[in-house]
Amino acid sequence: MSGVATVVGSGSWGTAMCGLLAAHVGEVRLWCRDPELAVAVNRDRANPRHLSGYRLPDPVVATGDDARALEGTDVVVLALPSAHLAPVCRRIAPHVPADAPVLVLTKGVEPGTGALMLDVAARELGGEGRLAVLSGPNHAEEICQGKLSAAVLAAREPGVAERLRELVVSPSFRVYVSQDVTGVEICGAVKNVVAIACGVLAGRGAGDNALAVIMTRGLAEIARIAAALGADPLTPMGLAGMGDLVATCTSRHSRNRAFGEAFAHGETLEAYEARTRMVVEGARAARSVAELARRHGVEAPLTLAVDRVLHEGLPVERAIDALLGRRPGEEFYGIVPTQGKENA
């Protein structure tokens, strides 16, 4: 094996991604914003803050030095919270080789601009054609143990997708390629919002039927937003959509689902993130996806409800009443050519 890969971001997903890359390249550099964390990772061969029981493979070397992390690298993987993506990309841009493909693992929609994460990274790093995104039912806690998972890797340039695919695929991590960057990104952002809604209802004692309703109506919401942005209508039905939605809404590893349950029991977003040292991306996405949906005239009742509950103080009971007060109509409105009929 030869070559160098750089993972920017030392959270759970970045840590697990190091293991996938280490099977295909000679050196994996893990960039840590905190230099002290890099020292601990190199000393203990484990990340003390995330996946602490996972021993990192020998090719992985952590560093807090931007230039050291990126000098001569063959590929860059961005595993950052959505709020940090733009500033960190701006910081490292002078050191990213112009010909290195960039794989974006971050999920979300930029507040204010409505930009998806690939476009945010491209704006700061340049070279949009070399960028790709990856999404699917990919809990890092299972991937680092070699448990079966799969993902969709989407790039506007097919050659970039194939090149990156070969660097992360394994017998237990199946990777499919796509050119529908927009669809994959919308799926990754909105499913986190739906997972919070599932968590809130589960925390209030809702049954399996209710959670299935939220997931399937959430999937329809994802598909409407994706369709409005010109995405392939099949993408939400695949791994990036339905696959990731099921995992995020039901898994004990899902921070968005877990936060929803904690919120239902009275814990605030700030308290939950401080306690778990995890970023609840769905809480940020609720606001930015709601803005995006309004901008494109898309009905997104679940997203708007979560946004109002989290950011405007709307009581959960009133949000539920408002959702149940909507008259059911055509199931797939806004996705297939039946728009204009009464909705649900």
Q: Which residues are catalytic?
A: 191
Question: What is the token pair recorded at 191?
Answer: 């499913």
CA atoms of 222 and 235, how far apart (whole Å): 10
Per the listing, tokens 């709307």 go with 314
Q: What is the DSSP string of 75-130?
A: EEEE---HHHHHHHHHHHGGGS-TT--EEE----B-TTT--BHHHHHHHHH--GGG
Per the listing, tokens 């109506």 go with 217
The continuous run of DSSP H or E covering 133 comes out as: strand 131-135
Per the listing, tokens 């050291």 go with 68
- Give CA 156 to chain center in angstroms: 19
Residue 89 identity: C
CA atoms of 3 and 10, how far apart (whole Å): 20
Residues 219, 235 contacting (CB under 8 angstroms): no
CB atoms within 10 A of CB 155: 30
CA atoms of 270 and 280, how far apart (whole Å): 10
Return the DSSP state at 180: -
Per the listing, tokens 């914003």 go with 33
For 251, counting Cβ atoms within 10 Å of its Cβ (0-12 exposed, 13-18 middle, 19+ buried), the class is middle
Closest CA to 221 of 288, 309, 290: 290
